Amino acid sequence: MTPTYKEIIKEIGAQIKARKKLLILRTLTIMWPVLLAILASYGATQVYGKEYIQAIVFSFPTILYIIAYTVLAFIYIIVVSFIFEIEKRIWIDSFFDKKEISSSASWKLAKKLLWPAIVFRFNIFFKYYFTPLVLMLVIIFSPLIAYKNFDTFLTPNIIYIYGGIVLISIIAFFIYNYYLRIKLRFSWFVFLDMYKGGTIPTHSIYEKMDLLNVTAKSEGFKKALILTVGVETIGAITNQLVVIMTEGIKAVSMGIPGIGQAGKMLGDITQVYGQALVRQVTSYAEIVSIYILYRTAHEQTFGKEQEVNEYMYGNNNTI
C-alpha cells in the first residue's frame, strides 16, 4: 500500500527531529571556512580600518592568499558536502534497516564510500545527462557558428526564431532534468543496498531501478514529483525568511551605538549559516520522503521492504 502524504510528512518530521543536532553540526563542518572568512574580514577591518584593508586586499601577496584560500575552501565545501549527502542516506537507510550506527561511524562510512559514489554519479551523468546536454548546446550554438555574417544574423526575424529555439531547448532540458530526478530517485538507495566493495555493479543497479520504477510508475511518480516540488518550495520560502531575519538584525544593530559593525557581522553569519542549514534540512526531508516511497516500491516488487547490505555494517566500516 502506497503511504499517504500525511504518513510521509509525519516521518519526515520524526527523522529531522532525531537528527537535528547532527544536521546543525554537519552544516557547521561544511560552512566553517566561509564563517571564518567573515570573522577574519570583520576582525581585520576593526583592527586596521576599512580604508587600509581595501588598499592591501588587491596587493600582490594578499590577492594570492585570498585566491588560494577561496579555491581550497571551495574544494573543501564541495567534497564535505558530497560526503554529507552520502551520510544523510546512510542515516535513513540504517534506521529502517534497524541497524544501530553512531554518528562517527556513519561519517566514517560516508567517507569510505566517497570514491565509489563519485564513480557511480559520473556513470549516471554519462548514461543519462551527457548526450542531451551536448545536444542542447549544439542546438543553441550551431546557428551562431553557421552564420558567418553576424550582421545578417542580427535581423529581427532570425533573432526571434533563434530566441524561440533557445527557449524551447532550455525548457525541454529542464523538463527532462525533472523527469530524470524522478526516474533516478531510488539510485542512491539501490547503490547502498547493492554495493559490496570493489567494482560497482552498475548493470544490476540499473536493472533493479527499472523494476522499482515500473512498480512505482503511476502513484509513486506523482507523489515523488509533488513532494520534490513541495519540499523545494518550503525550502525557498524558509530561505527568504532567513534573509528577512538577517536584514532585520543588521538594520536594528546599525541603529544601536557601538555595535553596528558587530551586528552586521552577526547578520552576515546568520544569513550564510542559516541558509546553508535550511538547504541541508530541505535536502534531508526530500531524502526521507523518497526513501519511504522506495520501501513501498521495494516491498511491492520483491516482497520485502528492506534489503539489508551487511557489507555496510561490517566491523571495518562502522567501528
How far is Cα 161 from Cα 159, in angstroms, rounded to an integer?
6
Q: Would 148 be classed as within a structural domain?
A: yes
- Amino acid identity for residue 64 in this structure: L
**pLDDT of the residue at 91:** 93
pLDDT of 193 higher than 50: yes
How far is Cα 94 from Cα 108, in angstroms, rounded to an integer?
14
How far is Cα 260 from Cα 251, in angstroms, rounded to an integer?
9
Residue whose C-alpha is closest to residue 273's, from 39, 19, 7:
39
Read off the pLDDT of each residue in 221-241 and give the average, rounded to a whole number: 52
**pLDDT of the residue at 114:** 95
Q: Would 38 be classed as within a structural domain?
A: yes
How far is Cα 136 from Cα 2, in angstroms, rounded to an integer?
37
More confident residue, 96 or 263: 96
DSSP string, 183-252: HTTTHHHHHHHH--SSS--HHHHHHHHHHHHHHTTTHHHHHHHHHHHHHHHHHHHHHHHHHHHHHHHHHH
CB atoms within 10 A of CB 138: 11
Read off the pLDDT of each residue in 154-170 and give the average, rounded to a whole number: 79
Residues 26-52 as b/e (b if ≥16 CB within 10 A, e otherwise) read: bbeebbbbbeeebeeebeebeeeeeee
Read off the pLDDT of each residue in 21-47 and give the average, rounded to a whole number: 89
Instruction: Identify the band that residue 73 occupies on the pLDDT scale cut at 50, 70 and 90.
Output: very high
**pLDDT of the residue at 88:** 95
Instruction: Identify the band that residue 256 occupies on the pLDDT scale cut at 50, 70 and 90.
Output: very low
Average pLDDT, the chain: 80
Per residue in 132-155, pLDDT (tens digit) is: 999 988 888 777 666 665 556 666
The DSSP 8-state label assigned to residue 58 in this structure reads T
Instruction: Supply the range of the domain harboring residue 225.
Output: 5-314
Instruction: Identify the band that residue 83 occupies on the pLDDT scale cut at 50, 70 and 90.
Output: very high
More confident residue, 297 or 58: 297
Read off the pLDDT of each residue in 21-50 and give the average, rounded to a whole number: 87
Among all chains, which residue has been given the C-alpha cell 518530521? 13
Q: Would 31 be classed as within a structural domain?
A: yes
Q: Would 144 be classed as within a structural domain?
A: yes
Q: Exposed, middle or buried by CB within 10 Å (0-12, 13-18, 19+), for 116? A: middle
pLDDT of 53 higher than 50: yes
Instruction: Identify the band that residue 125 occupies on the pLDDT scale cut at 50, 70 and 90.
Output: very high
Q: Could you give the number of structural domains in the chain?
A: 1
More confident residue, 246 or 156: 156
How far is Cα 50 from Cα 53, in angstroms, rounded to an integer?
5
Contacts of 179 (CB under 8 A, 6+ apart): none
**pLDDT of the residue at 203:** 92
Instruction: Identify the band that residue 86 occupies on the pLDDT scale cut at 50, 70 and 90.
Output: very high
Report yes or no: 107 and 90 within 8 Å, Cβ to Cβ. Answer: no
Contacts of 72 (CB under 8 A, 6+ apart): 33
Instruction: Identify the band that residue 17 occupies on the pLDDT scale cut at 50, 70 and 90.
Output: confident
> What are the CA-CA distances from residue 78 to residues 3, 115, 238 (Å)?
34, 14, 23
Q: Would 319 be classed as within a structural domain?
A: no
pLDDT of 52 higher than 70: no
Q: Please state, for a pLDDT cut of 90, what percent of the chain lies above it.
A: 29
**pLDDT of the residue at 217:** 66
| C-alpha 181, offset from chain centre | 12
